[in-house]
Structure 1
Amino acid sequence: MWKISVKELINEKRKIIEDIYAIDEIELHTGTYKVVNGGFKVKLVLTYADNKILLGGYARGYVERPCDRCLKISEMYIDGIVEAVYTFEKKITHKTEELKDLSNEILITDDIIDLEERIIEGIVSSAPDVFVCSEDCKGLCPYCGADLNEEPDHKCDKMEEKIDPRFEILLKIKHTQEG
């Protein structure tokens, strides 16, 4: 499904692919996560022009991931952008020019283009580094680990125990101001 014949694409000039990229889990830069809802909805447009194949599209879906604040498993939405330029001729660049040229062209060396690598690349590069289950997630108590979403009025007894003696004066000032 995700392998495209180069010859057919050159003859057709343009091809649109819409399908589900069905995988059980995906490895992101923050860990390996379960893919939910059947996979990622993918739409790709391939166009042959100027002796190059241009690829553009998206891969959208959900993975189960723990919230970085409260550690509850939640669904994280990923809206991956899939882009690539495939070329038939390798550009000759000198070492001094390599850093200036960010065209990221992929040399076609076979009669088949495997789009799965580009789909995964789009998903991984679009996944956020930090994920919270909701914008107003309060997280966990840093002293005892209580979920502050479930206990909004939580007062931790262990807070007093872990005060650095050098900061005791600040705690006294705080209590004086609170009344």
Structure 2
Amino acid sequence: MSTDAFAAAVGKGAALHKPPLREALRTGLIFGVIETITPLIGWVIGLAASQYVSQWDHWIAFTLLSCLGVHMIWAGMGEPEQADELKQTHSFWLLAVTAVATSLDALAVGVTLAFVDVSIFWAAIAIGLATTVMVTIGVMLGRTIGTIIGKRAEIVGGLVLIVVGVAVLFDHLSAATGQ
């Protein structure tokens, strides 16, 4: 489940000017906490109405990730900024929206876990910890990529988010048709 969050984190790290480790950890924690909460929410929803969530989660993830990706591409096509003008952090809300978009699969897992005898608490903790580690690594990897290709890394990051959104949509639609 952490792979889409990892890909988004690489894009986020690439869009920043040499993000420090503390920014990578901050981003990892934001994603990790949201990834911990979403299966719990999914579990509660699963107890009530699982068919409604599974019918729309992939469309919501696709839309959010595509919109964020287009926004990043648009920003990356602007004039390149001087290195000292580039930001070193993303806003909490931008990271939270991205984390929610990449955590909808964890929500779906929570819905599924409502129907089996599994401790949702421990499953959610494991999902959150794995995501925290993967996102922290992703931001630091993105830092290296951003250093190599500069401001245009934001375009690459936007494209990555769109590809992740399309992959989520494709996976769900192909699973629904049995292919």
Structure that is richer in strand per residue: 1
Same fold (TM over 0.5): no
TM-score with structure 1 setting the length: 0.25
TM-score with structure 2 setting the length: 0.25
Q: Which has the higher contact order (CA 8 A, sep 6+)?
A: 2
Rg comparison, structure with higher value: 1
